[in-house]
Structure 1
Amino acid sequence: MNTAERIAEEGRPLPEDLLAVAERAEQRAGKGQLTIYLGYAAGVGKTYAMLEDALSHRGDGLDVVIGYVETHGRAETNALAARLEAIPPVRSDYRGLTLREPDIDAILRRRPQIVLIDELAHTDAPGSRHIKRYQDIEEILHAGISVYTTVNIQHIESQNDIVAQITGIRVAETVPDTFFYDADEIRLIDIPPEELRIRLRAGKVYVRDMAEQAVRRFFSVENLLALRQIALRFMAQVTDRQMLTCMRARAIPGPWPAGERLLVGIRPGPTADQMVRAAYRLADRFRADWIVISIGTESEQNLTDRERRWLNDAMETARNLGGRIVRYRGGDVPGELIRYARQHNVTMIMLGKPRGLDIFYSPVYRIMVRSKGIDIFLYEPKAAVSIPIHRQLPQFVNLNLIISAILIALVTILNYFLRNVISSSNMLIIQLIPVVAAALLFRRGTAIITAIVSILIFDFVFVVPYYTLTITDWEYFISFVGYVVIAFIISGLATRLRYLLPQIRRSEATVEAVTVLSRDLVNVAHRQEIFDTLYRHMKQFGEGAFAVLTPDTGGLFVNVGDPGYPLTPKERTIARWAFENGRTAGRGTDTLPMGIGHYVPMKASGVTFGVLAFAFRDPEEVLTPENKDILQTMAYLGALALERVE
Structure 2
Amino acid sequence: MEREENERPDPQDLLTFAEYEESKKSRGSLIIYLGYAAGVGKTYSMLSDGIHAREEGTEIVIGYVETHNRPETDVLAERLEAISCWIQQYRGISLREPDVDLIIQRKPDVVLIDELAHTNAPGSRHTYRYQDIEDILQAGISVWTTLNIQHIESLNEKVSLITKVPIKETVPDTFVAKADEIRVIDISPEGLIKRLLEGKVYVPDLAVQAVNRFFAKENLLALRQFSLRYTAQYSDIRMMRLIKTKSSSDNWPASERILVPIRPGPNAENLIRAGYRLAYRLDAEWTVISVIEEKDTDLPPQEEKWLISALDTARRLGATIIRYRGDDVAADIIRYAKRNHITTILMGKPKGFNVLFSPVYRIIRGARGIDIILNDSRENDKPIPIPRQIGVRIKEEYISGVILIGIITCVNYLLTGIISSDNQMIIQLIPVIIISLLFRRDVALVVATVSILIFDFAFVLPYYTFAITDWEYFISFVGYVVIALIISTLATRLRHIVPQIWKSEAQIEAIGTLSQALADSTDRKEVFSSLIEHISRIGPGRYAIFTAGKTGVVILAQHGDIDLTEKESSIAWWVLVHGQSAGRSTDTLAGGDGYFLPIKGNQQTFGVIGFWFDNPEEMLSADNKEIYDSIASLGALALERVKIK
Partner SS state of residue 76, structure 2: helix
**Number of equivalent positions:** 639
Q: Does 1:270 align with 2:266?
A: yes
Give, as a single letter, the amino acid of the residue that structure 1 aligns with 2:614: R
Q: Distance in 2 between matches of 1:100 and 1:354?
A: 46
Question: Paired residue for 2:313?
Answer: 317
Query: Superposed, which structure 2 residues align to 1:600-611 within 5 Å?
Result: 600-611=597-608
Q: Does 1:65 align with 2:64?
A: no
Q: Report how far residue 367 of structure 1 moved.
A: 4.6
Q: TM-score by structure 2 length? A: 0.88
Q: Select 1:154's aligned residue among 150, 156, 167.
A: 150
Give, as a single letter, the amino acid of the residue that structure 2 aligns with 1:564: D
Question: Paired residue for 1:3?
Answer: none
Instruction: Give the conservation status (yes or no) of the 8 Å contact 1:119–1:151.
Output: yes
Partner SS state of residue 359, structure 1: helix
Query: Superposed, which structure 2 residues align to 1:619-634 within 5 Å?
Result: 619-634=616-631
Instruction: Give the conservation status (yes or no) of the 8 Å contact 1:117–1:148.
Output: yes
Instruction: Give the conservation status (yes or no) of the 8 Å contact 1:134–1:175.
Output: yes
Question: Paired residue for 1:469?
Answer: 468
Question: Paired residue for 1:176?
Answer: 172
Q: Distance in 1 between matches of 2:239 and 2:343?
A: 25
Question: Paired residue for 2:104?
Answer: 108
Partner SS state of residue 360, structure 1: helix
Change in 2 beyond 3 A, CA 1:395/1:481 = closer
Q: Distance in 2 between matches of 1:13 and 1:580?
A: 35
Give, as a single letter, the amino acid of the residue that structure 2 aligns with 1:559: L
Bigger mean CA offset, 210-219 vs 106-115: 210-219
Q: Does 1:555 align with 2:552?
A: yes
Give, as a single letter, the amino acid of the residue that structure 1 aligns with 2:468: L
Instruction: Give the conservation status (yes or no) of the 8 Å contact 2:461–2:468.
Output: no
Query: Superposed, which structure 2 residues align to 1:417-456 within 5 Å?
Result: 417=414, 429-447=426-444, 450-451=447-448
Q: Report how far residue 375 of structure 1 moved.
A: 4.2
Q: Report how far residue 596 of structure 1 moved.
A: 0.7
Question: Paired residue for 2:6?
Answer: 10
Question: Paired residue for 2:231?
Answer: 235
Instruction: Give the conservation status (yes or no) of the 8 Å contact 2:127–2:588.
Output: yes
Q: Distance in 1 between matches of 2:554 and 2:77?
A: 44
Query: Superposed, which structure 2 residues align to 1:245-394 within 5 Å?
Result: 245-254=241-250, 256-357=252-353, 359-365=355-361, 367-368=363-364, 370-384=366-380, 391=387, 394=390
Question: Paired residue for 2:596?
Answer: 599
Instruction: Give the conservation status (yes or no) of the 8 Å contact 2:37–2:148.
Output: yes
Instruction: Give the conservation status (yes or no) of the 8 Å contact 2:583–2:596.
Output: yes
Q: Report how far residue 450 of structure 1 moved.
A: 4.8
Q: Select 1:56's aligned residue among 13, 27, 52.
A: 52
Change in 2 beyond 3 A, CA 1:140/1:434 = same
Question: Paired residue for 1:205?
Answer: 201
Bigger mean CA offset, 56-65 vs 203-212: 203-212
Q: Report how far residue 593 of structure 1 moved.
A: 0.6
Bigger mean CA offset, 171-180 vs 56-65: 56-65
Q: Does 1:217 align with 2:217?
A: no
Q: Distance in 1 between matches of 2:97 and 2:250?
A: 47
Q: Report how far residue 527 of structure 1 moved.
A: 0.6
Instruction: Give the conservation status (yes or no) of the 8 Å contact 2:542–2:561.
Output: yes
Query: How far does the alpha carbon of each residue in 1:456-491 deviate from its partner, in whole angstroms, 9 at most, with x for none?
Result: 76677677898873448x7x8887676555444433
Change in 2 beyond 3 A, CA 1:204/1:642 = same
Q: Report how far residue 537 of structure 1 moved.
A: 3.3
Instruction: Give the conservation status (yes or no) of the 8 Å contact 1:357–1:392.
Output: no
Q: Distance in 2 between matches of 1:509 and 1:104?
A: 43
Instruction: Give the conservation status (yes or no) of the 8 Å contact 1:329–1:502.
Output: no
Instruction: Give the conservation status (yes or no) of the 8 Å contact 1:521–1:641.
Output: yes
Q: Distance in 2 between matches of 1:127 and 1:285?
A: 38
Q: Distance in 1 between matches of 2:278 and 2:509?
A: 35
Change in 2 beyond 3 A, CA 1:487/1:631 = same
Question: Paired residue for 1:142?
Answer: 138
Change in 2 beyond 3 A, CA 1:116/1:507 = farther
Give, as a single letter, the amino acid of the residue that structure 2 aligns with 1:78: D
Q: TM-score by structure 1 length? A: 0.88
Q: Distance in 1 between matches of 2:243 and 2:493?
A: 47
Q: Report how far residue 240 of structure 1 moved.
A: 2.3
Partner SS state of residue 26, structure 2: coil
Q: Select 1:85's aligned residue among 57, 76, 81.
A: 81
Q: Report how far residue 155 of structure 1 moved.
A: 1.0
Q: Select 1:639's aligned residue among 620, 636, 639.
A: 636
Question: Paired residue for 1:123?
Answer: 119
Q: Distance in 1 between matches of 2:274 and 2:365?
A: 23
Q: Report how far residue 638 of structure 1 moved.
A: 1.8
Q: Report how far residue 629 of structure 1 moved.
A: 4.1
Q: Report how far residue 287 of structure 1 moved.
A: 3.5
Q: Report how far residue 431 of structure 1 moved.
A: 4.3
Query: How far does the alpha carbon of each residue in 1:337-363 deviate from its partner, in whole angstroms, 9 at most, with x for none?
Result: 444444444444334333334532344
Q: Distance in 1 between matches of 2:437 and 2:624?
A: 31
Percentage identity across paired residues of the two chains:
53
Q: Select 2:530's aligned residue among 517, 528, 533.
A: 533
Query: Superposed, which structure 2 residues align to 1:476-487 within 5 Å?
Result: 486-487=483-484
Query: How far does the alpha carbon of each residue in 1:564-590 deviate from its partner, in whole angstroms, 9 at most, with x for none?
Result: 335222211211111122221111111
Instruction: Give the conservation status (yes or no) of the 8 Å contact 1:319–1:625.
Output: no
Q: Does 1:30 align with 2:26?
A: yes
Partner SS state of residue 319, structure 1: helix
Q: Report how far residue 391 of structure 1 moved.
A: 4.7
Q: Report how far residue 430 of structure 1 moved.
A: 4.0
Q: Distance in 2 between matches of 1:566 and 1:115?
A: 38
Change in 2 beyond 3 A, CA 1:322/1:462 = same
Q: Report how far residue 239 of structure 1 moved.
A: 1.6
Question: Paired residue for 1:97?
Answer: 93
RMSD of equivalent CA atoms: 3.4
Q: Report how far residue 563 of structure 1 moved.
A: 2.2
Bigger mean CA offset, 520-529 vs 210-219: 210-219
Give, as a single letter, the amino acid of the residue that structure 2 aligns with 1:83: R
Q: Report how far residue 219 of structure 1 moved.
A: 2.3
Q: Distance in 1 between matches of 2:536 and 2:23?
A: 31
Change in 2 beyond 3 A, CA 1:83/1:458 = closer
Q: Distance in 2 between matches of 1:605 and 1:461?
A: 74
Change in 2 beyond 3 A, CA 1:313/1:141 = same
Query: How far does the alpha carbon of each residue in 1:493-512 deviate from its partner, in whole angstroms, 9 at most, with x for none?
Result: 22332332344355467646
Q: Report how far residue 156 of structure 1 moved.
A: 0.8
Give, as a single letter, the amino acid of the residue that structure 2 aligns with 1:132: Y
Instruction: Give the conservation status (yes or no) of the 8 Å contact 1:21–1:249.
Output: yes
Q: Report how far residue 28 of structure 1 moved.
A: 4.5
Change in 2 beyond 3 A, CA 1:512/1:234 = farther
